[in-house]
Structure 1
Amino acid sequence: MSKQFLQIHPKDNVLAALRDIDKGDVVDFQGNSFSAIERIPAKHKFTFQDFYQGDEIIMYGVLVGEATKAIVKGGRISMENCVHASMEYGVSSEQFIWEAPNVTKWKDATFKGYHRADGSVGTANNWLIIPMVFCENRNVEVLKSALQESLGYHTTNDFVVDTDALVSQYKNGASTEDLMNSEIIRSPEEIKQNRTFPNVDGIKFLTHDGGCGGFRLDSETLTSLLAGYITNSNVAGATILSLGCQNAEVKNLLEGIKKRDSNFSKPLYVLEQQKSKSERHFIEEAVKKTFLGLIEANKVERKPAPLYHLNLGLECGGSDGFSGISANPALGYASDLLVALGATTVLSEFPELNGVEQELINRCESQENKKKFARLMDTYAARAIALGSAFKNNPSPGNIKDGLITDAMKSAGAAKKGGTSLITDVLDYTEKCTKKGLNLLCTPGNDVESTTGLAGSGCNIICFTTGLGTPTGNPVAPVIKMSSNNILSEKMNDIIDFNTGTIITGEDTIKSKGEELLEYIIKVASGEEIPAAVRLGQDDFIPWKRGISL
């Protein structure tokens, strides 16, 4: 039988239930026995000492809440007896010393990637079609209907229904019986073989609701984000649709591209509708130029590359009370392995770092980064309060139901995705990753806004932990979905790629799962494994407008 509970950190004054504990069940902890005074569902936290009003609640070794009333030993921590509380933080001069894990096993390991002229290596080879403003979304959809299926890019789980085969047979006089007996289901392998451009993994259509109106800053941020997507190592080239009069100006986009890659040489076609003869001519030119770009993109083939070319985004969403015990620390261990191998990893979602700021500040390599992180966190928190919100409002109803009662409790577990390594850089939204090692990137906690930001800063693969389940993906970077528990992995096996629930049930350790995850990341980066979000065409893209989004 699996363990009944866990004290996550020696300083913790609450325990995490690893399985359901019924009222009256006896708990043995540190030589003392006591009974649960109520039912404690798995994933929730309970006390092994009496609490009084105002007492601090400690988890992961940090302050995560405050008791609002007395809680008897054996009682469950809940919204009725606990509120959010977090530690104060400040810039320190402390020098962090990191003991890297042994990576001898992967010292000479490689992945099969797409080598770019700027020296980066992609894990995918995608062509982008991007509107500069929402006015062009319809034209993007027209291009999608004209290009996607005709060039062999179907989105599916495990198969595609080839209706064209039925139409062809019908036109050739096939009988009803022949039609019923025909094979029209195609496997992913057949689909790829039937692509006009087999070395191009996808044509991605990035519609959005920005580019004009609202704050000018939002449009400028959008052009910076799009420049990040176009220069991402997973992108072969792009077709840009501009109306011509929008706030998101093409010149700003081109400046953003040059800032990220001064010798940019990917195929890039910019079309302005207001300069075109008609919409028909506009679409015709876009299709033809895109086709020519795809010819060039198809010339690039996968070749071996050292693992230090990986840029791994660290993301979570739909978290539960097990996320910070299994999936997040397993991902954190894989992050440490990659950092030790000279790669880049990126931890985002600043509202979900509330309460662990001091630990992260202490881990920053430079005083400049310590100050920048503190400033970004202060600004974000102040803006949330000014608009009538706060970090304490971050946990969703699903988080709370599954044991994440306060934002600090959620954050302390979420931060485990970043492992234990030195933090080499701190980035604001849309800033490009330029330093190897662990980076911190300012994004919202909102899943899609955050993954959108990770790819925009250069991530060429993303690991996304979840305890409740979410189909979220990204159009540019393959997204690996990690389950924190066995039940989710079994129930939603159509969207889960990697299960860490065996850490909870005792079959695996954080270390063993982290090493297994690294092997899986290498396979995905090489195109040997296709994550569910990619198969399903889950190309979620939501640029962050710099208002408050938690």
Structure 2
Amino acid sequence: MKQKVLKVHPQDNVLVALQDLSKGEKILYNGVEYTLLDDVAAKHKFVTADLEKGAAVIMYGVLVGKTTEALPAGSRITTSNLKHASAAYALSETRKEVHSKTENDTSWKDRTFMGYHRSDGCVGTGNYWLVVPLVFCENRNVEVLKDALLEELGYAHPPKYRALTKQLVAAMESGVDVETISLNESAQATAKSPVFKNVDGIKFLSHTGGCGGIRQDAQTLCGLLAGYITHPNVAGATVLSLGCQNAQVAMLKEEIEKRSPSFDKPLYIFEQQTVGRETDLIEFAMKRTFEGLIIANQQTRKPAPISKLVIGLECGGSDGFSGISANPAIGHTSDLLVSAGGSVILSEFPELCGVEQEISDRCSDVRDAERFICLMRAYAASAVAVGSGFDMNPSPGNIKDGLITDAMKSAGAAKKGGTSGVAAVLDYPEVVRRAGLNLLCTPGNDVESTTAEVGAGATVVLFTTGLGTPTGNPIAPVVKISSNTALYNRMPDIIDINAGTIIEGNETIEQCGERILEYVIAVASGEKLVNAVRLSQDDFIPWKRGISL
């Protein structure tokens, strides 16, 4: 018989419904029988003991909320009877020895992938050319370059839905009911073959920054853009500057120097106020970009150890199953890669609320532990200062599917980081320099956080979701992993891997984590194309360090 409920941690006083349960139903778990006082939908929880008003609710072994009324055993927890609460945390001067669950696993150490080797020793999983505006004033010129280059060079995807527009116009003109019309995919144009066979694409990073705001915004933006230009998945870049903006060319070069002192990729920078006419600017930029693509095309994939991989760990559209299936599965993937000498990035600081003590204690260096605590407290304080707070992080979709408080959401989100010790704590937009588990201060917003992880050096991103989200990135493949099988079946053009097998009892967390790592190696080698890349889901949103949860 399929298991109906799950207790995530021995100290928990809630059980998670693995399927829809009815009021009055008797649930037997570990020899104890519970009578449900409410309907409990799959992904939601009910309490296992009588709780007084103000009592602590424990899940994942940590405080995730406090009751706002007395709850008898068998009651479903909701936003009406539970409020956010999280445990206090403080710096521990004594570092405890952290033992990853996979630290003695040597089975992946000799595995390799086929990547692009750069002169600084990094290895990319892709080979892209970037076109980057230093300020939003240049976005229009970036679009002009995009229109001029992509189709002729074979990087434009066929306009899939243009054929449907033609069908609808024809139906209207002939008096046919448009509801009878469906997309005729056979009528779509065929994409041209790329002129440069070893260049995966030309990516255009439009944004709304570079001027206005505060000067620190310009410095931060230049740091992020430098992270992309120096990224292992990037062969070179064309940069458009207006000239008078806050984000100056000298500032960008300074940030590039910080990240890559011996930077030697082709980099072409054009300043419109110096060049003059738009036609001259576009012509110069097109010619230099074409020359750069010729150089980039000389790169080919070669074997590299998986210790050269840098994996970003991300979640978005989470549900009540994310913290017990997809997140711990990529946590195991993370541990395996760290044991093999690779690097992983755990971000989304608002979604580490309530587990600060455990993560701080996992920092190998007390200075990193102190930095993590300082960043968390500063972030939380800045949210409160504008009338918000981490408690407002869960979205309506999160709540509807079982994530009642931010601490509950966070405790499950933190599972992405596995059990390894923390090698380094980074502030946005810093770059990964140490192997192992790196913490990166970012918002919980999935696109801002994914953008930041890639800017920090992630060459592949593992993205878990329980509700479904199309999030992608211009230069790094974003592997979408569903927490439940229903989502995987409903959105097969978005989701790459199903971790719902864990909920169904068909696979262990460890087996799923290993399957995910095998998939990552294939993606990193160019053998598999993830859905976000296939759909050209090129999301790029820089974080301005304002309050974004």
TM-score bin (small chain): over 0.9
Matches within 5 A, 1:11-160: 11-92=11-92, 93-101=94-102, 102-155=104-157
In 2, Cα distance between equivalents of 1:241 and 1:530 = 30
Does the CA-based 8 Å contact 1:348-1:440 persist in structure 2? yes
Q: Distance in 1 between matches of 2:507 and 2:29?
A: 23
Deviation at 1:160, TM superposition (A): 10
1:73 Cα offset (Å): 1.1
Separation in 2, partners of 1:218, 1:363: 31
Query: In the TM superposition, what is the alpha-carbon distance from 1:161 to its structure 2 partner?
Result: 8.7
Q: Is the 8 A contact 2:14 2:59 kept in 1?
A: yes
Aligned residue for 2:535?
536
Q: Deviations over 1:331-352 (max 9, x none)?
A: 0000000000000000000000
Q: Are the counterparts in 2 of residues 161 and 184 from structure 1 also a CA contact under 8 Å? A: no
Instruction: Give distance in 2, aligned partners of 1:255 and 1:84.
Output: 43
Report if aligned partners of 1:8, 1:325 keep a CA contact under 8 Å in 2: yes
Return the alpha-carbon distance in structure 2 between the equivalents of residues 182 and 126 of structure 1.
Answer: 29
- Deviation of the 1:105 alpha carbon: 2.8
Q: Residues 126 and 235 of structure 1 are in contact (CA less than 8 Å); yes or no, is this contact kept in structure 2?
A: yes
* 1:7-63: CA deviation from partner (whole Å, max 9, x where unpaired): 000000000000000111111123222211111000001011111101000000000
Tell me which amino acid in the other structure corresponds to 2:141: N
In structure 1, distance between residues paired with 2:126 and 2:70 = 55
Secondary structure of the corresponding residue to residue 106 of structure 1:
coil
**Aligned residue for 1:171?**
none
Residues in 2 aligned to 1:283 and 1:33: alpha-carbon distance in whole angstroms: 73
Q: How far apart in 2 are the matches of 1:90 and 1:38?
A: 38
Q: Which residue of 2 is the match for residue 447 of structure 1?
A: 446
**Contact 1:318-1:469 within 8 A present in 2 as well:** yes
Q: Residue by residue, what CA displacement relative to the aligned partner does 1:374-425 show, whole Å, maximum 9, x if unpaired?
A: 0000100010001111000000000000000000000000000000001000
Deviations 1:123-144 (CA, angstroms, capped at 9, x unpaired):
0001000000000000000001
Give the 3-state SS of the residue equivalent to 1:22 in structure 2.
coil
CA–CA separation in structure 2 for the residues paired with 1:472 and 1:309: 24
Does the CA-based 8 Å contact 1:96-1:364 persist in structure 2?
A: no
Task: Give matches, 1:316-331, under 5 Å.
Answer: 316-331=315-330
Contact 1:54–1:68, Cα closer than 8 Å, also in 2 = yes
Q: 1:132 to 1:448 in 2, by over 3 A?
A: same
**Cα 1:183–1:502 shift into 2, 3 Å:** closer
Tell whether the 8 Å contact from 2:5 to 2:29 is kept in structure 1 after alignment. Answer: no
What pairs up with 1:364-383 in 2 under 5 angstroms? 364-383=363-382
| 2: CA distance, partners of 1:95 / 1:105 | 27
* Residues 163-214 of structure 1, C-alpha deviations (whole Å, 9 max, x = no match): 9xxxxxxxxxxxxxxxxx9976577xxx58x110011111100000000011
Quote the sequence identity (%): 59
Given that residues 495 and 533 in structure 1 are in contact (C-alpha distance below 8 angstroms), is that contact kept between their aligned partners in structure 2? yes
Whether the 8 Å contact between 1:156 and 1:537 is mirrored in structure 2 is no
1:266-415 alignment runs, 5 A limit: 266-415=265-414
CA contact (8 A) 1:156 1:536 kept: no
Q: Is the 8 A contact 2:51 2:73 kept in 1?
A: yes
Counterpart mapping for 1:143-182 below 5 A = 143-155=145-157
Asked whether 1:6 is paired with 2:33, we answer no
Report the alpha carbon displacement of residue 103 of structure 1 after superposing the two structures with TM: 3.4
Is residue 239 of structure 2 the alignment partner of residue 240 of structure 1? yes
The CA deviation string for residues 94-133 of structure 1, in whole angstroms up to 9 with x for no partner, is 3222144253332211000000010100000010000000
Give the equivalent residue in structure 2 for 1:420.
Answer: 419
Task: Give me the whole-angstrom Cα distance separating, in 1, the residues matched to 2:105 and 2:28.
Answer: 38
**Preserved contact between residue 429 and residue 456 of structure 2 (Cα < 8 Å):** yes
Q: Please, what TM-score do these two structures have when normalized by structure 1? A: 0.94
Query: What is the one-letter code of the residue matched to 1:94?
Result: R
Given residue 336 of structure 2, which amino acid in structure 1 is its aligned partner?
Answer: L
Q: Aligned with 1:540: secondary structure?
A: coil
Question: Residues 424-503 of structure 1 correspond to what in structure 2 (within 5 A)?
Answer: 424-503=423-502
Rounded to whole Å, the distance in 2 between the matches of 1:89 and 1:156 is 53
Letter in 1 for 2:217: D
**Amino acid in structure 2 at the alignment position of 1:529:** K
TM-score by length of 2: 0.94
Residues 77-110 of structure 1, C-alpha deviation per residue, up to 9 Å, x if partnerless? 1001000000100111132221442533322110
Question: How far does the alpha carbon of each residue in 1:342-376 deviate from its partner, in whole angstroms, 9 at most, with x for none?
Answer: 00000000000000000001100100100000000
Give the count of matched residue pairs: 528
Corresponding residue of 2:252:
253
Cα distance in 1 for partners of 2:97, 2:479 equals: 30
CA contact (8 A) 1:154 1:160 kept: no
Amino acid at match of 1:96: E
State the SS of the aligned residue for 1:470: coil
1:308-336 deviation digits (Å, cap 9, x = unpaired)? 00000000000000000000000000000
Structure 1 residues 136, 116: closer, same or farther in 2, change over 3 A? same
Aligned partners of 2:345 and 2:205: how far apart in 1? 23
Which residue number corresponds to residue 523 of structure 1?
522
Given that residues 127 and 202 in structure 1 are in contact (C-alpha distance below 8 angstroms), is that contact kept between their aligned partners in structure 2? Answer: yes
Q: Secondary structure at the match of 1:389?
A: coil
Distance 1:463 1:182 in 2: 30
User: Could you tell me how far 1:222 is from its partner in structure 2?
Assistant: 0.2
**Secondary structure of the structure 1 residue equivalent to 2:322:** coil
| Separation in structure 2 between the aligned mates of residue 155 and residue 452 of structure 1, nearest angstrom | 22
**Which whole-Å CA distance do the structure 1 matches of 2:268 and 2:161 have between them?**
31
Structure 2 Cα separation of the partners of residues 337 and 126 of structure 1 = 28
Partner amino acid for 1:442? C
| Distance in 2 (alpha carbons) for counterparts of 1:452 and 1:482 | 18
